Amino acid sequence: MKKFLILLIIPVLFCSCTRTGSSSGTSADIDATNGGLLVEDAHGTDATDENGNILSQPETTRPRVPADTVIVEEQFAAESGDAFLMIADKEWKAQYFGKNSDNLAYDAKLGRVKGDGNYSVKVTADTTGFRKETGEYTPSGLKFMAVAVKNGKELLPNKKITVNSVKVDGKAVNLLGVPPTTFESDGSMRIIFYSEYDEKYVNTDDFSTWSSIEVEFSVI
């Protein structure tokens, strides 16, 4: 009889060692095919070794960017009240007119005009997006250049724009006069620096080739 009781107790003890539980109700099983390591159960318990050390997790769940993926900059479109640089080079191959479909919309700097104050606007061809669309094209010359405030005719009817500086590739250039503030039929408020047929307040020699153009101005 004693031998029989001992034989019954041993299997019970063995079974109690192969299943553990935690205070949260999670459990982990001994994996006999993995050298006795605890295997993560369906509740999300971290896999650990026999000393309680958390095992490193496989990296297959981490998102990976394909090696041939080209990441381009954000394209900006002018919204109501935004000041932006309207520009086209002499070949019309580099341009921005406030639309995010323009090839100089990548990383374009706009200024939200809320009243009197100092603002700046900028375009640059030194972006992955521009090069992706045009190849290795370098802008040259001017066909048109202006600072515009979208819906400025309605939002700023009694205001005007005064120019503080014009910079080509970071270098300030001189103006040939003071461009006047105008209100256009599209509802924008503008100062036009250069138009092929009339306004010419900058010297196109200063724009022979360029990568970035920035205008700093005040609204008063």
pLDDT tens, 170-194? 999 999 999 999 999 999 999 999 9
134 burial type by CB count under 10 A (0-12 exposed, 13-18 middle, 19+ buried): middle
pLDDT on residue 54: 61
pLDDT on residue 91: 97
CA 67 to the chain's CA centroid: 20
pLDDT on residue 70: 74
Residue 72: inside a domain, yes or no? no
Low-confidence ranges of the chain (pLDDT < 70): 1-50, 52-68
pLDDT on residue 52: 67
pLDDT on residue 46: 53
pLDDT on residue 68: 63
Residue 185: inside a domain, yes or no? yes
pLDDT on residue 137: 97
The overall average pLDDT reported for the chain is 81
Whole domain around residue 41: which residue ranges? Answer: 2-61
Residue 175: inside a domain, yes or no? yes
Q: Are residues 200 and 151 in the same domain?
A: yes
Helix, strand, coil percentages, rounded to 5, for the chain: 15, 30, 50
Neighbouring-strand partners of residue 83: 111, 149
Q: Are residues 118 and 42 in the same domain?
A: no
Residue 69: inside a domain, yes or no? no
